[in-house]
Chains A and B, each alone.
Chain A
Amino acid sequence: MFSSEEWAALVGKLRQLTQAGKISWTAKGDSALSVDLGSAQYRLSSRDEDDQPPWVLTVTKRSTDWTEPDRYVDSLTGIYQEEVSSIPASLVPGLRDIAYRMSLGGPQLASDLLSEMLEVDPTEPPKYYGDTPF
């Protein structure tokens, strides 16, 4: 349904919003992620339902009236290659990586984990031999 340019614009904007933390993806099941944005729902899930890539971006138009069902719009199966806007499917794996990271806490995740470890032992970790300048 969407043209290649439309897909590229949509995926790029989604990725920008995700990276900025302006939309929050919710984990659904073991590997799927989903976000509601405006009148649409975006869903990143495994194509083969086996929690493995390739990842599929599915766009669903959400209905405002409860008598109307949600409408499937289009989906884009990611391919693993160099990311180019002319091939929007190549943008999906990167989007999925960022969305997964942001759904787990994003940039806060590592610092949160580190602070939990510092609660156990607040001392500095030892330096490594390669780090020492001679």
Chain B
Amino acid sequence: MGRSASVRTTLAPQPVLPCRSVVAVFVGLPVVVMEIIVVDQVSARSHPLREVPPPNVQVRPRGRAVVHGFVVLCGRAARGSKLIARRLAHWNWQGHTLASARGCRPWVFAGGRRQIANLSLVIMPTTTEAHPWWIDWASTPGLFDWISLLLTVGGFVFAYFQFRKTRSATVEATKALTLAQSKLSERAVFAIAPQLSHSREDIQLAMKSGNDREAQRALVRFTNLADEIADVLIDSFASNVVLAGQVQAASARAKKVKYTIVTKPTTNVSTALVPVYKEVDAVVMSVDKLAAGLRNKIEGASNV
């Protein structure tokens, strides 16, 4: 288990708290005595680095729960605890470094160096530094941990692909809506264009008959149709601004002529209709041309 494996040596360079030293002496001493009795010397002897480790150093882990347990290293440190601590960094126990075997960063207590250096070192895992409560660096992941990790990663992958599907679907929907809008506008043009032709013929008939009621009716009909197709052109055929303006101008003129015919009954209808008929004729031809172009357009192609 390759976990963080640095043994933090707090021996010489850093000041050792006297109270900890006292605790180490009074708590550690009886423990040390006990450990000396029950310690298993085989592991230390059989270790390949047994030439290197400090003399008579023994390891006694207390329990698997590292947070609550502690490690007692006991023995005689002939050349001082600093040297022992330095060696501890390289010292192995059952194939692991000391720290990694415990899964923690031990505090090395060398309380009363002069007094107890020959007897013991107490290495205690700290619950404050090595084991913060909000995360567990130490415990080995179990089967369910690995399963949940896999599920989590799989969930993220799944969510990512769902997101991509959603995005592409949105793009497709936007395309389809745009296409549908253009189709609807084209159909509106197809529907209005022949009616415009008919209203032009109505105006022509009114010019021939000179009947003011017929003229009013034809002009109103043309005005309504022209306003409608002008809206369609402005909304959906941005390239036909000129045609839209032409249609709106013809509509306004038709309205004015109708006003004149209504409010001045003595007006000669045939004469009054001549200028508006010219404009209507031009509009009808332009709209017919537009409709023909749209009718022959191949789906998705431009200028076909």
Interface, chain A (partner B; CB < 8 A)? 48, 50, 52-54, 79-81, 93
Beta-carbon contact of A54 and B262 below 8 Å: yes
| Secondary structure call for the A interface | loop
**Given pairs A48-B258, A52-B258, A54-B262, 12 additional interface contacts (CB within 8 A):** A48-B216, A50-B220, A50-B258, A52-B259, A52-B262, A53-B262, A53-B263, A80-B262, A80-B263, A80-B265, A81-B265, A93-B263
User: Which of A52, A79, A93 gathers most chain B CB within 10 Å?
Assistant: A52
**What residues of chain A lie closer than 8 Å to B263, measured between beta carbons?**
53, 80, 93
Q: A48-B216, A48-B220 are in contact. Are A53 and B265 (CB under 8 A)?
A: no
Please report which residues of chain B, range 241-281, place their CB below 8 angstroms from some CB of chain A when the two chains form the complex: 255, 258-259, 262-265
Nearest opposing residue in chain B for A54, CB measure: B262
Closest Cβ–Cβ distance, residue B220 to chain A (whole Å): 4
Query: Total interface residues on B, using CB and 8 Å?
Result: 11
Interface, chain B (partner A; CB < 8 A)? 216, 220, 223-224, 255, 258-259, 262-265
**What residues of chain B lie closer than 8 Å to A52, measured between beta carbons?**
255, 258-259, 262
12 A-B residue pairs with CB within 8 Å: A48-B216, A50-B220, A50-B255, A50-B258, A52-B255, A52-B258, A52-B262, A53-B263, A80-B262, A80-B264, A80-B265, A93-B263
User: Which of A48, A54, A80, A93 gathers most chain B CB within 10 Å?
Assistant: A48
**What residues of chain B lie closer than 8 Å to A93, measured between beta carbons?**
263
Whole-angstrom CA separation of A50 from B222 in the bound complex? 12
Nearest opposing residue in chain A for B263, CB measure: A80
Which 5 pairs show the lowest CB-CB distances between chains A and B? Answer: A48-B220, A80-B263, A53-B262, A54-B262, A52-B259
Contact among A48, A50, A79 for B265, CB-based, below 8 A:
A79
Whole-angstrom CA separation of A33 from B216 in the bound complex? 22
Whole-angstrom CA separation of A93 from B258 in the bound complex? 16
User: Which of B220, B223, B224, B262 gathers most chain A CB within 10 Å?
Assistant: B262
**What residues of chain A lie closer than 8 Å to B224, measured between beta carbons?**
50
Whole-angstrom CA separation of A53 from B219 in the bound complex? 13
Whole-angstrom CA separation of A73 from B224 in the bound complex? 28
Whole-angstrom CA separation of A117 from B264 in the bound complex? 36
**What residues of chain A lie closer than 8 Å to B264, measured between beta carbons?**
80
Whole-angstrom CA separation of A79 from B216 in the bound complex? 13
Nearest opposing residue in chain B for A81, CB measure: B265
Nearest opposing residue in chain B for A78, CB measure: B262
Beta-carbon contact of A50 and B262 below 8 Å: no
Closest Cβ–Cβ distance, residue A81 to chain B (whole Å): 6
Whole-angstrom CA separation of A54 from B220 in the bound complex? 12
**What residues of chain B lie closer than 8 Å to A54, measured between beta carbons?**
262
